[in-house]
Structure 1
Amino acid sequence: MSDQELINLLFGFVTTPAEVFNRNGDPFYIDSGDASRIKTGKMDVQCVIREARQDRRVLSTIEDSFAKMVLPKLNSSKIEQLQLEVLSLVRDSACSSGMKRKMTDLAQSESLAKFLAEAFLESLAWVNSAPRDVSKRKTEPSRKDKPLPRPPVPSDIAPQEMPYVDALMRVYGEIEGTCSIGPSNIDSYPNHQKHFKRQRTDYYAAEALRRGLRDAYDEPDDDQFRALEDEVYDGVIDTYECEYGSGMDRLRHTLKQSVQISADKCFATRDTSWIGNSEKKGMCHILVNDERIRGWLDDDV
């Protein structure tokens, strides 16, 4: 199978169930030139495909698509090597620690189709850039001297968001006296919806920072981001563990404390202007995703 055929097959797993079309209203089709540019990192995945990866119709069909149309084409003798290579890419990526753990668990399970499907959907969220030539970095303008790009918050909730999102829904449910509040009906609670929107903005600010730090410091293991996460954790944990009348009180006091942290152990605090209040508050949601903080209700502490 050629690169062009493979890319069209994989993209079709997203565009067909999500009913995504090009500007002319026709089904998406990647020609050989674009296929080559996508493979070599000279062209990014179209935004509509990137956004459609979170469509519920895609999420409900993607595993079956891989099982029926990808697995039969694989060389059985090279499946283990494929899993290791895909898992290596995920571990070296900027995705959350929770997603990396999830993919590691899937790689060890018997569901190869689910593992490949999840890896493919996650890869669509990555910036498709070719590996940088580190030898040329000294002659290029420093990324650290530039403002940190912050992509828009997607309308749909990504699977890797669910730990901190579930924790927030439990807070809103405690306030309303119900356990039925979720992302699907949050719009029915305008005050909570506005609050939830701000939390997602902060979370994505932190994730943008994660990617920016990796690019600026050439550290594939996210050393600088982990240093910041450790600083935020050390700075908020005593506040987090205090007694509060509600989960919302704990959340608000913890977020308020997070913006007071200097985070001097993270080089980016001194080298850039990237770490602001939104990024620090977003780190609190990263802590939930990474299970360093379990949630905001008394039962979670």
Structure 2
Amino acid sequence: MSASTASTASLAGRTVFRVGYGALQLERLHDRRDEAVALLRRAVELGVDHVDTAEFYGFGFANAVIREVVGSRDDVLVATKVGADPDPGGPMPLRLAQRPEQLRASVEDNLRGLGLDRLPLVNLRRLDTGPGLRPAGDQVVDLDDQLAVMVALRDEGKIGAIGLSSVTIDGLRRALPAGIACVQNAYSLASRDDEDMLGLCAAEDIAWVPFFPLGGAFPGLPKVTEEPAVRAAAESLGVTPSQIGLAWLLHHAPHVLLIPGTADAAHLEANMAVSEITLDGATLAALDAVETRSNEVPLG
């Protein structure tokens, strides 16, 4: 028996191709803007119709490239995020910006950077779970206060839909009355802590958009491409372990969307091709049996 996947799914009320593009890696082309523009144009040619970005990606560089390539065209959904701002002079390239007034300012920054009157989808990065920073001091803000400003911005027409990122299942449940379009959490074949939340999203028609879909982004995180079952499947099908890791996500649940990022055109094409990979029942069973390990690696 073989398992195939639908090529499209719903995101913020739109039907989109299930493989999008994450713009973080565009900053690697900061000094080669023409290459960055060409890469994103190629992504759109290959079928990308949803792009994930943030004003702090390359200190506005990613948004500037998206503005040039996508502009205000309505056939490419641009999803951005708030909860952190660029911090070029700081110890890290970003600083937390969790307070309601900071969220509003971040939305305005993204509107300017992208050249849009309305952001189709804005993800609120909560930082309650997953690897990375944890809020402290005045950056510890109640979710209800954050949702209030996000809903107000939606009512004002500045954003179209609200998503959540790095959120717990309890946080998602609290947020449901506000209307949540997607959840972005760290999730991969080797780190499936959020299986219950993935199920809740399916029940509520919320898109599941995992970041770190291959794990390994920080030391200590399990790497999908090192799993023997993944390597065996890749060898059997004549594809790369990375492609197997991404294809498994598409097979795992129909509301999963991918936003893999790259600064390389060949890698981009390999990422887009995962939608065409079919995993048979035996292969899926072997991959499903991979042990899951925690994604919790706080950095501060």
TM range (shorter): under 0.3
TM-score normalized with structure 1 length: 0.28
* TM-score when normalising by structure 2: 0.28
| Larger strand fraction of residues | 2
**Which has a greater percent of helix?**
1
Which structure has the larger Rg?
1
